[in-house]
Chains A and B, each alone.
Chain A
């Protein structure tokens, strides 16, 4: 079964602390994975995708096929990073994006 698991509902850190939002997936085949972010009162938007291997707003995510993980990391959290983060898996065969339950990141001053 195709599935995305985000084990943490809430991650609370202080400004300047490292952040790691966990994501594990289940998919037979070569996965295409994304992180989406939703800031307060804003629409859900793409943060980054594993294919691009890019760093957006200081966030990076590495696909680990052995551990079937795609954790999102940032070395120094900022208050403006506070948001809801969703890990997502593109199921090309079914033409749909499968989301995890989401993790709320709260960065305190």
Chain B
């Protein structure tokens, strides 16, 4: 069974702190994604990665960075957290080169920045 695991379900951080959100998939998928989910806005793509050490900006990359040192792991980094980054963060993966756009999602990490 496909599995995408996000290490932290709930985090509370203070403004200015550095935040790491970790995501691991066990399906040997090449593509991985980070979205944020906000009421009324749906899911918006932050960053994605085609393969190891490759990354592309999504629609809202400002204030975020990512790291993909291993195929199974994709990390989202908030260098200096701000209150407007309070949100639900969803990680997803996909078979690279597949003709379909089907994504497999993690359970999400709810981040609150005080």
Contacts and interface: CB of A to CB of B under 8 A. Distances in A.
A49 B42 contact: no
B42 A43 contact: no
Contacts of B106: 43
B101 A88 contact: yes
Interface in A20-41: 32, 34
Contacts, number: 51
Interface in B1-37: 4, 31, 33, 35
Q: Tell me whether chain A's interface is mostly helix, strand or loop, or mixed.
A: strand
Interface in A45-63: 45-46, 49, 51
B43 interface: yes
Ranked nearest first, the 3 interchain pairs of A and B with the lowest CB-CB distance are: A90-B101, A99-B43, A101-B42
Interface of A: 4, 6, 9, 32, 34, 42-46, 49, 51, 86, 88, 90, 92, 95-102
22 contacts: A6-B42, A9-B40, A32-B100, A43-B4, A43-B106, A43-B107, A44-B43, A44-B105, A45-B105, A49-B100, A51-B100, A86-B42, A88-B101, A90-B100, A95-B31, A95-B56, A96-B33, A96-B58, A97-B33, A97-B45, A99-B35, A99-B42
